[in-house]
A and B are shown apart, each in its own frame.
Chain A
Amino acid sequence: MTVLTLALIVGAVLFGIGLYGALSQTNLVMIMMGVELMLGAAMVNLVAFWRFLHPDVYSGQMYVLVVMTVMALEAAVGFGIGTARFRQRGSVEMEEAAELKG
């Protein structure tokens, strides 16, 4: 097994854990944690691909920076929504958030 395969397997397992967390949790912040884990898995894959397939092309590292930006944005917007919801309803439980249902 190559180091590339090992790193990609770690990424795949982290993705599975994050997917489980994002789908199973009812609390907004816990759902965000699941999404963060999935994005972390994507970053592991990107760094592994960059290192072992094209270490001379730095677009791979650039892509990791973009994913880090997405993580920060997700946290900022998620906490903004969480704060607004907490002020209105006193809770960030997403089971109760059915206002957008059609």
Chain B
Amino acid sequence: MIQAIFVGLWGGVAIWFGISVFRTSSMVRSALSLLASMAAIGGMFLALEAEFLGVLQLMMMATEMSIMAIFMVMFMMDPGGLGQMEMTHQKRAAGVAGLAGGAVAVAAVLLADWGPIVAEADGPDMQTRALGIELMERSMLIFETAGVTILVAMIAATAVAITRQRTP
């Protein structure tokens, strides 16, 4: 019961701030709303007893969204949204797609038979240990591939962003 209350509470907060991301004309407020939404998702993870992932989500998203806010200020002429610039297009089609996508997903959730629910999960210490063993044994190839992909993306992002100097 307590778990349901906290999952619902954090879920509601995540949805509320998720909507706020696209309702404000201030880019900085959008980034901060997304940060709050992602932090609430981290809270949901904690309520769902995935403590390691919850803390990881909070730390990662706090950093990522702060960087996003900095880029927003860098890229925008009006990051505070004081000029009320219109930055949307095809709102009706996007609204229909968003509503349809969400409605289909909710219908699938309600109509599908998910099978028996497991009441108990391991404690945080056992979970972290088991996840470490999973990373270093069965899922090692995936883990290593993710590491190499991060390296490639870092090099690619730097290469794309660098100013090309024309040699005379």
A residues apposed to B, CB below 8 Å: 2-21, 23-30, 32-34, 36-37, 40, 43-44, 47-48, 50-56, 58-59, 61-62, 64-66, 68-69, 71-73, 75-77, 79-84, 86-87, 91-93, 95
B97 to chain A, nearest CB (A): 6
B residues in contact with A71, CB < 8 Å: 60, 64
Please report the C-alpha to C-alpha distance between residue A62 and residue B56 in the assembled complex, in whole angstroms: 13
Q: How many A-B residue pairs have CB under 8 A?
A: 238
Please judge, given known A-B contacts A6-B4, A77-B156, whether A43 and B101 are in contact too, CB under 8 Å.
no
Please judge, given known A-B contacts A19-B97, A19-B101, A75-B67, whether A68 and B56 are in contact too, CB under 8 Å.
yes
Contact between B157 and A76, CB atoms less than 8 A apart: yes
* Size category of the binding interface on chain B: 35 or more
B82 to chain A, nearest CB (A): 16
Contact between A86 and B75, CB atoms less than 8 A apart: yes
Contact between A24 and B48, CB atoms less than 8 A apart: no
Contact between A50 and B105, CB atoms less than 8 A apart: no
Please judge, given known A-B contacts A3-B3, A40-B14, A51-B50, whether A80 and B97 are in contact too, CB under 8 Å.
no
B125 to chain A, nearest CB (A): 14
Residue interface bits B19-32, CB-to-A below 8 A is 1, else 0: 10110000100110
Contact between A40 and B7, CB atoms less than 8 A apart: no
Contact between B41 and A43, CB atoms less than 8 A apart: yes
Please judge, given known A-B contacts A43-B57, A80-B158, whether A62 and B139 are in contact too, CB under 8 Å.
yes
Contact between B121 and A21, CB atoms less than 8 A apart: no
Contact between B18 and A26, CB atoms less than 8 A apart: no
B residues in contact with A12, CB < 8 Å: 102, 105-106, 108-109
A residues in contact with B90, CB < 8 Å: 23-24
B residues in contact with A73, CB < 8 Å: 149-150, 153
